[in-house]
Structure 1
């Protein structure tokens, strides 16, 4: 029997917040690169599923991350979800 993992991102001010929050909730490997390519690889290959990633205040993070970085993070999360059927995104 597999356990469903729920991950919550909130109050994101910078990319370190993203990686720190994920690291507290998921078993990121010690060699995790703290970049979007490493995040995609982890979510599509290493993360056990099923997995739901909740980011209810994603729109608020755009101000802090900047439009380009925010869009890149969202694209990475969506691309990862497209790669596996047991990864659900809930973006607010």
Structure 2
């Protein structure tokens, strides 16, 4: 049993069993452009769809703020009979 331990610890100078080599491999960094070098056509399409969806998601809150602001301004106009007509008016 001691001979096995001695042979395994002598395989690497520090006796860590190759852990340092695995750690160095995990710490290697890849340049940003290399991330996309293996992308195929489907990956590119999915990235474009994701980007457009993220833009749409980001624009939704400011647009809803504008619409809600116009709605609140309509309620603040003062004339209650005029409110229903203004809220249901088509603003295209």
Give TM-score scaled by structure 1 length.
0.25
Give TM-score scaled by structure 2 length.
0.25
The structure where strand makes up a greater share of residues is 1
**Greater Cα radius of gyration, structure 1 or 2:** 2
Flag the structure with more relative contact order, 1 or 2, with Cα contacts below 8 A and sequence separation at least 6.
1
